[in-house]
């Protein structure tokens, strides 16, 4: 671990005690934008990861992030709703929000709503209406009770006051997250008191549990419960709850305005290791990345020598990161995804073409790597259903 970074200040709590711990150069700027031609995919924009961690709140962020490289538009595809496992999680989360906050007949706003999959679920109650914001929205009819604006949240007036403002997997993309939360609060019509719900990737999954493939350029920030709460509190909101979900991979937070009734704010906060412990975890990640890459390079070489190939299941952030870090040593890796919108397209950087699961029986698959272990059981069932006996391993 190096000394504190001169001139840096934590994006979450504002502390000047930030230390570098991991550098990964030349990674794809977008993991979730695939390409129709291999040459274009190989020439996709790249950027550097220079990760620092706050010694006070434990927030992790990319010191080298350049917002000029990142412009979200149509073609950005990161939906996970094709997975039964993820769909069940989303339905359970939406039902929990509807029940706890009495959203029947209420107005829900979702920031970075994608194609409206989750907004549709959370507005499934009687009389609920939803407004979504996302410049990558492809159009179409999201639902009779939904309206999706193909724009960034805050560009135009909100109109009807919301009862729930929902932000899922958006805040980690913001180069000034505390300012963004402040803008969220200010965009709400005066006199209203919505609940703010936020879900982000949990940095402890990378620091504590070894989820090293989650470090990508699109994510400026990696929050833990303490740093996420600091971000909302700096914006003048009162955090009422933080909790881990999805096998510890995601982190959720709820907050209300300072003027909301105290009865609405029973505080329930997730446990976060002490700052020194987080620094120690971060300091070891560089060696962990090297160890894992060395292991999988040996395995790929062994399989290649025997004439086999490796199915790398999951062509989102984790799969793109893994195959790009493997480089030429991962040449026998075949990206697989159940999302039909990705089939036939090429991954940024390495330029590998994504195939549907149904293509695997013809490809001499000797090993199936599941890039997100939470899906291992689900994917093993699909693999066996295709008549493939190769080992299925969560990475």
Residues 212/373, Cβ–Cβ less than 8 Å? no
- Among residues 10, 23, 14, which one has the least CA distance to residue 61? 10
Computed on alpha carbons and rounded to an integer, the radius of gyration of the chain in Å comes to 21
Instruction: Provide the pLDDT for residue 9.
Output: 94
- Distance in angstroms between the alpha carbons of the first and the last residue of the chain: 26
Q: In whole angstroms, give the CA distance from residue 112 to residue 130.
A: 13
pLDDT for 196: 97
pLDDT band at 136 (very low <50, low <70, confident <90, very high): confident
Integer Cα distance of 325 and 309 in angstroms: 18
DSSP state of 7: T
The confidence score (pLDDT) of residue 81 equals 55
CA dihedral over 185, 187, 191, 196, signed as positive or negative = negative
**Cα(46)–Cα(214) distance, integer angstroms:** 16
**Six-digit token string for 378:** 């689900």
Q: How far is it, in rounded angstroms, from Cα 11 to Cα 351?
A: 33
Q: Around Cβ 190, how many Cβ atoms within 10 Å?
A: 6
Question: 83 vs 167, 228, 372, 375, CA distance in Å?
Answer: 21, 27, 12, 8
Q: What is the mean pLDDT of the chain?
A: 92
- What average pLDDT does this structure show over 117-121? 95
Q: What is the pLDDT of residues 236-268, one digit of tens each?
A: 999 999 999 999 999 999 999 877 766 666 678
State how far the Cα of 360 lies from the Cα of 336, in Å rounded to an integer. 8
% residues pLDDT > 90 (the chain) = 82
Task: Grade residue 73 by pLDDT with cuts at 50, 70 and 90.
Answer: very low
């Amino acid at each position: 671990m190096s000394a504190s970074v001169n001139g840096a200040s934590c994006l979450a709590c504002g502390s000047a005690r930030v230390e570098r711990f991991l550098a990964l150069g030349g990674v794809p700027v977008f993991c979730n934008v695939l390409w129709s031609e291999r040459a274009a995919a190989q020439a996709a924009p790249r950027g550097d990861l220079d990760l620092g961690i706050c010694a006070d709140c434990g927030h992790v962020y990319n010191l080298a992030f350049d917002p000029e490289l990142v412009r979200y538009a149509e073609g950005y595809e990161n939906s996970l709703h094709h997975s039964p496992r993820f769909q069940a999680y989303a339905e359970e989360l939406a039902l929990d929000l509807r029940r706890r906050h009495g959203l029947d007949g209420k107005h829900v706003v979702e920031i970075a709503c994608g194609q409206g999959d989750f907004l549709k679920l959370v507005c499934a109650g009687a009389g609920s209406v939803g407004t979504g914001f996302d410049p990558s929205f492809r159009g179409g009819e999201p639902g009779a009770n939904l309206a999706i604006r193909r724009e960034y949240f805050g560009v135009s007036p909100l109109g009807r006051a919301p009862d729930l403002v929902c932000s899922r997997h958006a805040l980690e993309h913001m180069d000034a997250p505390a300012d963004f939360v402040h803008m969220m609060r200010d965009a709400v019509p005066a006199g209203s008191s919505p609940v703010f719900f936020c879900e982000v990737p949990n940095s402890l999954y990378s620091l504590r549990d070894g989820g090293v493939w989650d470090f990508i350029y699109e994510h400026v920030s990696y929050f833990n419960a303490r740093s996420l709460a600091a971000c909302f509190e700096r914006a003048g909101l009162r955090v009422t709850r933080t909790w881990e979900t999805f096998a510890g991979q995601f982190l959720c937070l709820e907050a209300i305005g300072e003027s909301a009734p105290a009865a609405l704010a029973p505080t329930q906060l997730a446990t976060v290791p002490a700052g020194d412990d987080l620094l120690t975890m971060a300091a070891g990640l560089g060696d962990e990345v090297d160890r894992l890459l060395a292991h999988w390079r040996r395995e790929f070489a062994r399989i290649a020598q025997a004439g086999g190939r490796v199915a790398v299941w999951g062509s989102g952030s984790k799969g793109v990161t893994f195959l790009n870090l493997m480089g030429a040593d991962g040449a026998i890796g075949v990206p697989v995804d159940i999302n039909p919108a990705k089939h036939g397209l090429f991954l940024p950087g390495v330029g590998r073409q994504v195939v549907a699961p149904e293509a695997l029986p013809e490809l001499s698959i000797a090993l199936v790597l599941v890039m997100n272990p939470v899906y291992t059981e689900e994917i093993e069932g699909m693999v066996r259903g295709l008549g493939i006996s190769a080992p299925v391993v969560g990475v």
